[in-house]
Structure 1
Amino acid sequence: QGRSWLQEGEPPTAVLQETEDLLQTAPDNRSKAAWKLVAAEAHLRVGDAVEAIQSASQAMVLFEQLKLREEQMAASAALIDALVLKQDGAAAADAAESAAAACREADDVAGEAAMLLRKSEALLAAMQDPYTAAEAAISACLLFRRAGDARGDASALEAAARAHLLYDPEQAIKAAKEALAIASAAGDISALPRIERSMIAAKAQVATAQQAEQAKALSCRGQAAPAYKWPKVLQLRAPAAPDVFAMQERPRAEGGSQLAVRGASGPAGAAKIDTKPAVNFTRKPFKWNPGYHKTDEAWYRQELTYLPPASGE
C-alpha cells in the first residue's frame, strides 16, 4: 500500500511520516519489514542515501528470516539504488552479485537477470570496470530472453551499449539498434529516449574517431609519418653535418688545366697526354646567401655555424 502511495505521486515526506506511525503499531515482523521497505523507497525519493541504506538493510534481513524471496529481492533492489546514490559503486555491485547468486540458487531466472542488470548499471554509474559491466549486461540480456521479458531485454541491451561506448562504439551502435527494435516491438515507449541517447552518443564518438583518422591521413598523405617541410638537421645544438654536395674544385696550381702525363709513348715517339683533368674536390667554406635569395634569414640557415677550412688548404 505504501509503495502505491509513492507511485501515485504522494510527497515522500508525507509517506515517511505515515510509515513512522505505522511501524510503531505493526503487529508482526512481516508488516515491519514491508513498512521498512516503503521507508527506504521514500528516503530514496528524498535523496537521503544513509537512511535509505539502513531501512533497506533492515527490511532485507527481516524478509530473509521470513523466507519471502520476492520481497527480499525488492529490498535488495532498494539497497542497491541507495548505494548507487551514495556513490559506492563497488558495494552496490557486490550487493547485486549476492542477490543474483541467491536468485540463481532458487532457479529464479527473471530475478537473476534483474539483479545482473542492476550490477551493470551500478558499475556504469560509478565509472568502474566497463568490461565487467558489459559482461553482466549481456548475461542479463540472455536471461531476459530465456524468461521472455522483452522490456528487460531492451534495458539490458541499452546497458551493454553504454558499457561498450568508450572502447568499442561500433558494437555500442549495434546493441543500441537491437535494443531500439526490441523496445519498439514491445511497446516500451519510456525506454526509447534513453536508447536513442546512447545511440547518438556512440555515433558521435565514431564520427570523432573518423575525423581524427581523416585529419591524420590528410596531414601525412598516406605516409607513416608527416613529411618535413625543411631539411632535417641531425644535431641542432652542434655544428651541422658536413654537406657532401657543397664541393668545388681545388684552385689550379698552374694557369691551365692540370693534365696527367703518362709515361707511355706512341709510335712516333711523342708522349701520350691524358686530356682528363685530375680534379680534387674539397669542402668549400661557409658563406651566407645573398640578401635577395628567398631562403635568406630562414630558420634552418640561422642554425648553421661557420666551419673553418681544414689545415693545409
Structure 2
Amino acid sequence: MRQVQLGWRGPQVSEVCFGSLAISPLQGRVTAEQGSDVFEYAVGRGVNWVDTAEIYDNYAQLRPVLRRHPEVRVVSKSYAVSGEEMRQSIEKARRGLGRETLDFFLLHEQESALTLRGHRGAWEELLKAKADGRVSRIGISTHAVAGVRAGALQPGLDVIHAIINLQGLGIIDGCREDMLAAISFAHDLKIGIYAMKVFGGGHLGASPREALAYVRGIPGVQAMALGMSSRAEVEYNLRFLDGEEIDRDLALKVRHEERKLYIADWCQGCGRCVGACPQGALSLSESGQARVNAGACVLCGYCGRVCPHFCLKIV
C-alpha cells in the first residue's frame, strides 16, 4: 500500500483510509463482528488509518482491532458547537477508542466561514487539545466548496476531509470544478486533504476503476477514505491502487453490490429525516411519508439516526 504525506509536516499514512461508516451501526450493512473482520483484513493489507465519527457510534467496534494494531492512526469527528461539548466529544473518543492521544479530530460537516464562526468555542477547544497533547492534528470535514476555502484559512487547521468524485456528486454548493479549485487553494496553503465519497455514495459503483483513478489523479488530494463493508471491496480497491491484476469474478462481485436508501411503509411523516439530510435528497410526499431522490442521495445514513420509528436504512 503506497504511503503518502498528509499535508505539510503531516504523518506518513497509507493512500487509503478505512472509512468505517460502511461498517457502523449508522448504516447497518453488516453486523458489528463482520465489520470488525473487514477492518482487520484491511489493516492486514496495509491500510494504517481509520476514519470514524461520534455519530457513527462504533468506537467499541473499532477498539479491539486498534488494541491489536496500535500503529493504526484514527480520525474522529464531532458536531460540537461549544468548548464544553467538544471537550466531552474528545474525552468520549479517547475512552471509547482506548487512545490517550487522538491522531486527528475534526469538526464534522462545516459548510462555510459562517458555520465555523458558529463553532468557534469548539474550535478553540480543539486548539487547546492540540496544544496539550490530547489531539495531534485538527481539521474539518465538509461537503461544501465554501467549507474547503474557509477551512484552509482557519488558524491551526491541519487537514480537510472533502467530498470529491468523478461526477461531483454530493457537493452542496457548486460543481466538481468549483471543488477542484477550492482543493487547489487549500493545497497551496499546505493543508492535508483526503477525499470522501469517492464512489458518490454508491452511484459510481458500476465504474470503480474510473472513480478511483480520477480521485487519485487530483493534485492536492493526498489520500482517500473508502467505505468498505466486505473483504471483496477491500481486495478490489487495494489491488487496483497497487497496480495488481483483478480477476473477473472479483470485479463482477464488487461491481454488482448496489445499494439504496430503504424507507419502510410505516413512516409517520414526522419530517425529521428531511431536515437531517445534508444533500437535500429527502422530502415528504403528498401522502405525508418520506421519499428519497435517489440521484441526490449519497447513502450517508445520517437520516436514519433521527428517525424515531427506525424507518430508514441502507440496503
Normalised TM-score (structure 1): 0.24
Larger strand percent: 2
Higher-Rg structure is: 1
Normalised TM-score (structure 2): 0.24
Q: Which protein, 1 or 2, shows the higher relative CO under an 8 Å CA cutoff with sep ≥ 6?
A: 2
